[in-house]
Structure 1
């Protein structure tokens, strides 16, 4: 049996960031992950480009991750456009008045690499790789985690689940979740194109499909197509020439001819919101707590900021000599993360419902909504500030790993 202060289940970027947040705290950590160590150290490209807000960049800088990104892996997001069907009209979110960026795009692969590099060799951290949690039971103030693969039991004062929106630990803890299967599949792939994107991200609600374009360095972009699973299967089966032609047609050749760069990847589109973010001696972070629809590109941002709230509560308790796994610490995290995520989660589902409804009344309503919003500058500015989290940048100014 291994005894630690905190067991973190899931070594994705949020779980790794949480471990990094506790560096220097004096707490012993066990990081439990199904993948082998080599896959963590050298993560494969998965097609996902992560949009980072100003608040998230600040956290990544404080955690020592941002400095590990190569300049060519950071793409500035200068503006954003929301479009409806074949209409030439678009709701534009222009660059900030100070000339800065709305945000930045960084490949998920690079975030995972940087997070692993930051915790590799961290004092007090033990990796249990190639293992999954098969059961748990609580005995007094200690939770015992049974692991598959012949690994010994891990016992901890606090268990933190960061094991995806389909979290096994969440279920073992008896925490329910509101799950919405959108019945769609998201296909992602990098594409090169003829015409410049000018640093603009597109969210394009077409008939029977939703598309996004994420601007990368040069005339390159991450293409995101949300379609019926059967149509995604057809696209995955195409050769590169036919695939490039199909994606170019989807985007109506607005960036000219597009060609595939790298591999294609498909993911089921499922949203998740846990009924609770904590239980006695346990907490949920990342997608285990909130699995967002990608339309607002806020999934990782919420995960990163949620782990920071939890880590801050733990560090403050340790500094004051209090029990870091006590109910008040975990409940405070639950309340803070729920306040930060619930409004946008619900709004995202409402938007997704309206903008994926292809009936004529819905098409007319969303076009009218975009046109009205475009004429109200304070409304656009408020949305832009919320999505970029520029106003929250100072909220984590005192947070940093020790």
Structure 2
């Protein structure tokens, strides 16, 4: 449902809304809601029809939301809509091994009880979070939703930005936001290049029902071809993100469900009892891609449009939501001071805040994947001994837990308690 946005005039140019947000997935709507709290209006443009986005069935796609991201959703009024569907992550166990041989005796164990703030994070299915964001936008008079349409052209001027839609409609705003994924058309049209590489790995994603309770424990099992993450969902259900080489993943993805489970079982193990597939299976090619700039004239990138990384630490959405919180804070403070929210120096503050942290996280996930996704006996011994040592160093272990919870670094206000 579309809502009328306020009209703004800046330097003689009439604007349909303050922000034109391209991409109605997760980060775009979150930014629109955060901006609305500061009195800024948004138009959110998405290629999919709203019923398709809102009424998605169970498909196994889930997110490991760090504690900082949960706080953001609480501050946006979203968490109370989804909390009943969320599963707290109380522990994380990280181990190394080979398929069918079981994990190494050296492993990392992170327990939420070691920090005061509560669970490190929660697992939440995509369908619940997406629906909650759409419903919250529909209730916010400062947000207009444009569905089933795409941006075909964009042009920035001294006092605003204009986009042309495939339907022929034009929209104007003060700031254009690219929240349109790794292949961001918004970034490409602005001439922003990307740096990155493929991993030769593909993620197999599915939901698994199991006989025994998971007790809120997330597992990351590193194998030579790539890691297998087993992430707890409500009930006796877990989401798996299983990385394999491209060729092997293609072969496994083509198998009938029964045969797929036969190759999964020796990797999954029997610690949760008998397992069976729930819902459909999906595949995602894995790569690292970072925009060379997060900003341009009257334009800012957030989420995967700015950075896409390996899912090894489950930080993709968390990094995007951190972009949202940081950009919202920069815009809010600029607006209070009477500054143009799209002025170059204002956007530079956002880029300075987020780009170094994002590049550091992307390289850390890249290095971790390269370190563990191999069968080199020297590296294998070194990483196993390293994990065993960290497990016996409480201060360092708590540092890793706080990092996983998203509580380190320069936190935006919306992510503070």
Q: TM-score when scaled to structure 2?
A: 0.89
Partner Cα distance (2:223, 2:383) in 1: 11
Match of 2:180 in 1: 163
Q: How does 1:114-125 map to 2 (within 5 A)?
A: 114-125=132-143
Give the secondary-structure state (helix, strand or coil) at the position aligned to 2:105: coil
Instruction: Give the Å deviation of 1:90.
Output: 1.6
Match of 2:33 in 1: 20
Match of 1:56 among 53, 62, 69: 69
Partner Cα distance (2:249, 2:363) in 1: 27
Instruction: Give the Å deviation of 1:386.
Output: 1.1
Query: Aligned pair 1:40/2:58, yes or no?
Result: no
Match of 1:285 in 2: 302
Comparing 118-127 with 164-173, greater Cα deviation is found at 118-127
Instruction: Give the Å deviation of 1:331.
Output: 0.8
Give the secondary-structure state (helix, strand or coil) at the position aligned to 2:231: strand
Partner Cα distance (2:186, 2:125) in 1: 27
Give the secondary-structure state (helix, strand or coil) at the position aligned to 1:268: strand
Match of 2:3 in 1: none
Instruction: Give the Å deviation of 1:257.
Output: 2.4
Match of 1:80 among 92, 95, 109: 92
Instruction: Give the Å deviation of 1:89.
Output: 2.8
8 Å contact 1:55–1:392 — kept in the other structure?
Answer: no
8 Å contact 2:107–2:384 — kept in the other structure?
Answer: no
Instruction: Give the Å deviation of 1:324.
Output: 1.2
Comparing 253-262 with 344-353, greater Cα deviation is found at 253-262
Match of 1:136 among 146, 154, 157: 154
Query: Aligned pair 1:92/2:114, yes or no?
Result: no
Comparing 245-254 with 342-351, greater Cα deviation is found at 245-254
Structure 2: tracts of 5 or more residues without a match: 1-13
Query: Aligned pair 1:309/2:326, yes or no?
Result: yes
Comparing 234-243 with 246-255, greater Cα deviation is found at 234-243
Give the secondary-structure state (helix, strand or coil) at the position aligned to 2:174: strand
Instruction: Give the Å deviation of 1:250.
Output: 1.4
Partner Cα distance (2:309, 2:374) in 1: 19
Partner Cα distance (2:370, 2:157) in 1: 44
CA 346–126 in structure 1, closer or farther in 2 if over 3 Å, else same: same
Query: Aligned pair 1:250/2:267, yes or no?
Result: yes
Partner Cα distance (1:200, 1:398) in 2: 24
8 Å contact 1:271–1:291 — kept in the other structure?
Answer: yes
Partner Cα distance (1:20, 1:31) in 2: 11
Partner Cα distance (2:59, 2:292) in 1: 29
Instruction: Give the Å deviation of 1:180.
Output: 2.1
Q: CA RMSD in A?
A: 2.3
8 Å contact 1:244–1:257 — kept in the other structure?
Answer: no
CA 399–351 in structure 1, closer or farther in 2 if over 3 Å, else same: closer
8 Å contact 2:32–2:41 — kept in the other structure?
Answer: no
Structure 1: tracts of 5 or more residues without a match: none
Match of 2:8 in 1: none
Render the CA deviation track for 1:59-90: whole Å, top value 9, x for unaligned.
Answer: 1011011010151x211101111111142332
Q: TM-score when scaled to structure 1?
A: 0.92
Partner Cα distance (1:35, 1:370) in 2: 44
Match of 2:9 in 1: none
8 Å contact 2:223–2:374 — kept in the other structure?
Answer: no
Partner Cα distance (2:176, 2:412) in 1: 26
Query: Aligned pair 1:272/2:289, yes or no?
Result: yes
Instruction: Give the Å deviation of 1:35.
Output: 0.7
8 Å contact 1:285–1:306 — kept in the other structure?
Answer: yes
Partner Cα distance (1:179, 1:235) in 2: 26
Partner Cα distance (1:292, 1:376) in 2: 29
